[in-house]
Amino acid sequence: MMVEVHDLWKRYGRFDALQGLELGVAEGSAFALVGPNGAGKTTTVKILVNLLEPSRGHARILGVDSRSISPRELAAIGYVSENQQLPGRMTVGDYFDYLRPFYPRWSRSLEASMRRDLQLPPSRLIRDLSHGMRIKMALACALSFRPRLLILDEPFAGLDALVRDELIAGLVGQAGEQTILISSHELGEIEGLATDIGFIDAGRMLFQEPMAQLSARCRDVHVTLDSDARVPHPLPAHWLQARAVGNVLMFVDTQFSDEALGELVRVLCEGVRRIDAKPMTLRSIFTTLAPAAREGAVS
């Protein structure tokens, strides 16, 4: 594992920002840590890079306890945050010149490619860059030394659509060359990037699994009946948000199997005319599973 977190707690006074968090990020994956603002995403990231010390439990990154990471490990970790501080009095070109000697794996060809693709003006003072340009610059700096692990903390927050697309294109272009851990509440933007996803809420991991598995098991189902529909009772535990409108029964199947769905619907419902099961967007899956996970109704 590139990142391992076990029973992690972080307390501020009487407030527990993290409450027994469990997390695992496999090498070569693009793991999306998602959740509402204040869920504990940034706290987790800061503990991983030793900007904060946990109150209890432990976190390992690149095989080392987060509290003991050395310059050797830091040279293999790229970090980009929405609130990243950059030296405003330096030019873009001067800042790249400053960083290169610190990273043995720095690639000048990759740097040139990133600066060209992200349209970073070398003579511009950093303080004169827009927020979006500063984030693009931070990403180019983080990718140029080919880190083993790239950590992105809310990188898309406050960016317009064009800048977000440019950043995602830059990340996709480097896919497979490093492990990525991205914390975000921008679900639409990470859908085509993440290979794995974990939902954190109130400092706890409610569920985590591969994106392909999550997408495959969730379907928006409409069952058309001969007469007025009724919600079955008892309702199968993996059918969520069930409701009846006219002669149509609607629900989300969170353990979808084409054959099993058809058999179960016909057992529970009379006069089945048609069963339609459609794939769901990540946002729709999230808004369905999150409330149920908070109540412990689904994993």
Show me where the domains of the chain are located: 3-210, 219-279
Q: What predicted TM-score, i.e. pTM, was given to this entire model? A: 0.84
Other beta carbons within 10 angstroms of residue 59's beta carbon come to 22
**Are 118 and 170 a contacting pair, CB within 8 Å?**
yes
Blockwise average pLDDT, block size 10, the chain, 299 residues: 94 91 92 87 92 93 93 90 88 95 91 88 93 88 91 76 70 70 79 86 89 94 92 91 94 93 92 94 87 67
Place of tokens 């970790």: 77
**Are 149 and 62 a contacting pair, CB within 8 Å?**
yes
What CATH number should be reported for the domain whose range is 3-210? Answer: 3.40.50.300
- What distance in Å separates the CA atoms of residue 39 and residue 25, rounded to the nearest whole number? 18
Q: What is the pLDDT of residue 3?
A: 95
- What distance in Å separates the CA atoms of residue 143 and residue 23, rounded to the nearest whole number? 24
In the numeric block, which tokens belong to residue 234? Answer: 């008892």
Sheet holding 219-225, edge to edge: 239-245, 248-253, 219-225, 272-279
Q: What are phi and psi of 141, to 5 degrees?
A: -65, -40
